[in-house]
Amino acid sequence: MHMYDFNDLLPYKKWRQGQLQIAHSVYNSIIERKILLINYPTGAGKTLPVLIGALKASFENGYKIIYLARTKNQFQAPQRELEKINKKIKEKINFVLLYNRQELCLQKNLQKLPYEEFIGFCAFLRKEGKCKYYPLSSRLSDSNNMQCGDEIMNLAESGDYCPYELTKLLSKNALVMILAYNYIFDPRIREIFTRDFNVKFERSILIIDEAHNLPDIIRNILTRKLRREWISRAIKEIKGYYRGEDRASVISSLRCLYSYLKSLDKKVLEKGFSVLERDFLYNTLPSPTRLRKIGLIIESEYKSMLLFKSSYIRRIYEFTNYFFEYPYSILYAERDYNYAVIKISPIFFEQNVIKPVVESRATIMMSGTLPPLGYYTSLLGLDPVRSRIEELRIPSPLSHRVKLKIVKGVSSRYVERGEVQYRKIAQCIDAIFYKSREGIVMTVFPSYNYMRNIRLYLKSRPLLVERERSRLSEVVNEAKKYEKVLLLAVAGGKMVEGIEIKRGNRSIINVVVIAGLPIPEPNILTKNMLENVSVKVGNRELAWKYVYLSPAVMRIVQAIGRSIRSKDDSSIVYILDERATDEFIISQLTRYGFVPEVVELQALLK
Ligand code: SF4
């Protein structure tokens, strides 16, 4: 393999501010076997230097690079940069993209199954020789000359090859694998993946993009659900395919469970969320062993008829098994449209879940909005000293283009919520909109509910509102029709996470209003997190700030990021909440390179 210098791998004329420093830090972390947390603004170009640092170490030592991204869209950034690097250097970097195996599957009738069942059916079809897309080996003689990246899908479809198996074959020569998070953080999927792709973490460099999402993503992966319609379908399955002696008693337990879920609807529709005692489920749920046995019988019936049907008993088994296996989990009901869904989530992550982060040669976790180190490591259950963690924070090179004002005399505190508060906030937004120049005034609320309450008192027009199901493209097109418009969005929502509205090279979001500090709602999840983090950091007050204030800062920074997309942009940001003058919040905002100025409400309304 060639030895490359950092500049040899750079496909552009020059480095952007901070990029060379990132490339060096990544390289050094790999050589020194460390975990590196990189905070560098979104859109400023961190993918490239991270890849360059990792590629240099990889060329020198033969490590594989595993790059994790959340969505297919996020696969594009590393793919694009690798293609550019490939044009610059002689040696071709082989890379593969591995989407979710089920999404890749060409047997369309398997796509709606739960993942576990899909894996079972796929294995069955392969074993019985009933999947025409498998095996490949007899039909593909030379995999070395095949293309990589997205072209795999085209090649697979044109040649009737299973895309997953094709990727597996290609990955033998691949230096970089770009994957979805669940291949690494779902222990069941990881086991199959590491076996299929012969992955050894100690010889791999793990890169995690948008790493601020990691704790939530892992929690989602591990959360198990129980839905009412699954129970009624499971009862039908048992009636149709199961003749065991315990048939009547299992059906009776499932009926009790169904009634219980129905009784939760009203409570959840009113409050959106309800913590549950474990006793009822403990006494009602059939044993996991029994459910598993019945599920296997039903699934084998399905397979023998070549029916690719979902086994609902298996879903109930998954939930039940988790319920009995993890007594220290959180049990709650949540609203899903007009019904209650029961969920069970882990309070903390077992070491097995984050094993790849610790065991890899080096792990690079990058984001534009990483929480404070102590908080982040306690959420993930990482020991900052034993895991040899280092942090690199590079403030936004464009932060000086933002005028950040915190308005005193106004707040969105829960205890003060009501007409007086809503009117005051609406009055501030109207005043800001009135004074602003052309373009978009993006106003970000802590929640949809809060937005609805304030909206009643807003006089400014024209007005565009983000709804729970709004599409980004629709909002962008609509907003561009106006010279000046007030856009109402929600912190942590689609708009704030992903919207970019430009004319030419410039963002037309010129003003951002944070209409109330976007603090997470106190609920059973955040309360448990607070307990957990308090123990880990040994300071309850600091833990409170981590759990409630640091996500608020992260959301504010995300919202500001929508207005500054290039060096030609500038914006004014107002935080309509005096709680943002808290020392912790100011210090966090300063770390991102912003210089907050405190202004009085009267001055704003003048
Ligand atoms: S072998 Fe491939 S195409 Fe066939 S069922 Fe499995 S994933 Fe689908």
Q: Which residue do the tokens 């895309």 mark?
A: 163
Give the distance (Å) from ligand 1 centre to CA of residue 153: 13
Token pair of 282, please?
């403990």
Cβ of 156 closer than 6 Å to ligand 1, yes or no, is: no
Q: What is the pLDDT of residue 144?
A: 46
| Domain positions in the chain | 6-100+148-212+351-393, 222-346, 399-605
Token pair of 314, please?
């298996």
> Would you say residue 309 has pLDDT above 90?
no
The 10s digit of each residue's pLDDT in 550-587 is 999 999 999 998 898 888 889 999 999 999 999 999 99
Protein residue whose Cα sits closest to atom 6 of ligand 1:
122
CA separation for the pair 59, 167 (Å, rounded): 22
Q: What is the pLDDT of residue 589?
A: 95
CA separation for the pair 50, 280 (Å, rounded): 50
Token pair of 341, please?
């869904």
Which of the two residues, 328 and 536, has the higher pLDDT score? 536
Cβ of 166 closer than 6 Å to ligand 1, yes or no, is: no
Q: Name residue 137's amino acid.
A: S
Q: Which atom of ligand 1 is nearest to the CA of 102?
A: 7
Nearest CA among 561, 441, 567 for reference residue 506? 567
Which of the two residues, 227 and 385, has the higher pLDDT score? 227
- Range of weakest confidence among 10-14, 71-75, 463-467: 71-75
Which distant-in-sequence residues (6+ apart) come within 8 Å of 156 by Cβ? Answer: 104, 106, 133, 162, 163, 166
Protein residue whose Cα sits closest to atom 2 of ligand 1:
162
Q: What is the pLDDT of residue 498?
A: 66
Give the distance (Å) from ligand 1 centre to CA of residue 108: 10
Beta bridge partner(s), residue 207:
67, 364
Give the distance (Å) from ligand 1 centre to CA of residue 102: 8
Residue 524 near residue 335 (C-beta atoms within 8 A): no
CA dihedral 417, 493, 557, 430 (to 10 degrees): -50
Q: What is the pLDDT of residue 244?
A: 92
Cβ of 164 closer than 6 Å to ligand 1, yes or no, is: yes
| Cα radius of gyration (the chain) | 26
pLDDT band at 270 (very low <50, low <70, confident <90, very high): confident
Give the distance (Å) from ligand 1 centre to CA of residue 103: 10
The mean pLDDT of the chain is 89
Which SS3 state, helix, strand or coil, does residue 318 take?
Answer: helix
Which SS3 state, helix, strand or coil, does residue 69 take?
Answer: strand
Query: Within 10 A of 603 (CB to CB), how many other CB atoms are there?
Result: 11
Residue 260 near residue 280 (C-beta atoms within 8 A): yes
Query: Within 10 A of 500 (CB to CB), how many other CB atoms are there?
Result: 13
The stretch 162-176 carries a mean pLDDT of: 85
Cβ of 4 closer than 6 Å to ligand 1, yes or no, is: no
Q: What is the pLDDT of residue 165?
A: 86
CA separation for the pair 34, 40 (Å, rounded): 18
Q: Is 465 exposed, middle or buried (0-12, 13-18, 19+ CB in 10 A)?
A: middle
Cβ of 250 closer than 6 Å to ligand 1, yes or no, is: no
Nearest CA among 254, 312, 317, 311 for reference residue 287? 317
Residue 30 near residue 54 (C-beta atoms within 8 A): yes
> Would you say residue 147 has pLDDT above 50?
no
Residue 37 near residue 212 (C-beta atoms within 8 A): no
CA separation for the pair 23, 112 (Å, rounded): 41
Q: Name residue 557's amino acid.
A: V
Q: What is the pLDDT of residue 303?
A: 81
Q: What is the pLDDT of residue 139?
A: 55
The stretch 140-158 carries a mean pLDDT of: 57
Q: What is the pLDDT of residue 152?
A: 65
Which of the two residues, 524 and 184, has the higher pLDDT score? 184
Cβ of 508 closer than 6 Å to ligand 1, yes or no, is: no
The 10s digit of each residue's pLDDT in 507-536 is 899 999 999 999 998 888 888 889 989 988
Q: What is the pLDDT of residue 150?
A: 59
Beta bridge partner(s), residue 392:
38
CA separation for the pair 349, 222 (Å, rounded): 9
Nearest CA among 485, 483, 439, 484 for reference residue 466? 485
Q: Which residue do the tokens 């912190």 mark?
A: 491
Nearest CA among 435, 417, 438 for reference residue 606? 435
Cβ of 217 closer than 6 Å to ligand 1, yes or no, is: no
* Structure ipTM: 0.99
Cβ of 183 closer than 6 Å to ligand 1, yes or no, is: no
Protein residue whose Cα sits closest to atom 4 of ligand 1:
131
Cβ of 382 closer than 6 Å to ligand 1, yes or no, is: no
pLDDT band at 136 (very low <50, low <70, confident <90, very high): low
The 10s digit of each residue's pLDDT in 196-214 is 899 999 999 999 999 998 9
Q: What is the pLDDT of residue 305?
A: 84
Q: Which atom of ligand 1 is nearest to the CA of 104?
A: 7
Query: Within 10 A of 527 (CB to CB), how many other CB atoms are there?
Result: 13
Peptide bond preceding 462 in cis form (omega within 30 of 0) = yes
The stretch 495-518 carries a mean pLDDT of: 87
Among 109, 119, 162, name the best residue to mutate to test ligand 1's pocket (greatest count of ligand atoms within 8 A of Cβ): 162
Protein residue whose Cα sits closest to atom 5 of ligand 1:
122
> Would you say residue 349 has pLDDT above 80?
yes
pLDDT band at 153 (very low <50, low <70, confident <90, very high): low
> Would you say residue 142 has pLDDT above 60?
no
- Range of weakest confidence among 31-40, 110-119, 275-284: 110-119
> Would you say residue 182 has pLDDT above 80?
yes
Give the distance (Å) from ligand 1 centre to CA of residue 99: 14
Looking at domain 399-605, its CATH superfamily turns out to be P-loop containing nucleotide triphosphate hydrolases (3.40.50.300)
Which H or E run contains 474?
Answer: helix 472-479
Q: What is the pLDDT of residue 1?
A: 63
DSSP states along 87-124: HHSSSPPPEEEE--HHHH-S-GGGTTS-HHHHHHHHHH
The stretch 318-345 carries a mean pLDDT of: 90
- % of the chain surpassing 70 pLDDT: 96
- Range of weakest confidence among 43-47, 408-412, 484-488: 43-47
Nearest CA among 568, 556, 527 for reference residue 544? 527
> Would you say residue 271 has pLDDT above 80?
no
Q: Which atom of ligand 1 is nearest to the CA of 121?
A: 5
* CA angle (54, 9, 15) in 5-degree steps: 95
* CA angle (549, 583, 378) in 5-degree steps: 40
Residue 574 per-residue DSSP state: E
- Length of the chain equals 606
Q: Which atom of ligand 1 is nearest to the CA of 101?
A: 7
Give the distance (Å) from ligand 1 centre to CA of residue 230: 26
> Would you say residue 143 has pLDDT above 50?
no
The 10s digit of each residue's pLDDT in 362-413 is 999 999 899 999 999 999 988 877 778 999 999 888 889 999 999 999 999 9
The 10s digit of each residue's pLDDT in 9-37 is 999 999 998 999 999 999 999 999 999 99
Q: What is the pLDDT of residue 145?
A: 43
The stretch 118-139 carries a mean pLDDT of: 80
Give the distance (Å) from ligand 1 centre to CA of residue 194: 18
CA separation for the pair 398, 17 (Å, rounded): 10
CA separation for the pair 114, 222 (Å, rounded): 14
Token pair of 559, please?
């919202």
Among 100, 104, 105, name the best residue to mutate to test ligand 1's pocket (greatest count of ligand atoms within 8 A of Cβ): 105
Q: Which residue do the tokens 């992260």 mark?
A: 554
Which of the two residues, 126 and 289, has the higher pLDDT score? 289
Protein residue whose Cα sits closest to atom 8 of ligand 1:
105
Token pair of 310, please?
């979902």
pLDDT band at 146 (very low <50, low <70, confident <90, very high): very low
Which SS3 state, helix, strand or coil, does residue 405 take?
Answer: strand
- CA 330, 333, 334, 337 torsion: positive or negative? positive
Token pair of 492, please?
């942590």
**How is domain 222-346 classified at the CATH fold level?**
Fumarase C; Chain B, domain 1 (1.10.275)
SS3 content of the chain, % helix, strand, coil (to 5): 50, 15, 30
> Would you say residue 137 has pLDDT above 70?
no
CA separation for the pair 108, 63 (Å, rounded): 36
Is 6-100+148-212+351-393 CATH 3.40.640.10? no
Which SS3 state, helix, strand or coil, does residue 274 take?
Answer: strand
Cβ of 105 closer than 6 Å to ligand 1, yes or no, is: yes
Fold agreement between 6-100+148-212+351-393 and 399-605:
yes
Give the distance (Å) from ligand 1 centre to CA of residue 249: 37
Give the distance (Å) from ligand 1 centre to CA of residue 104: 8
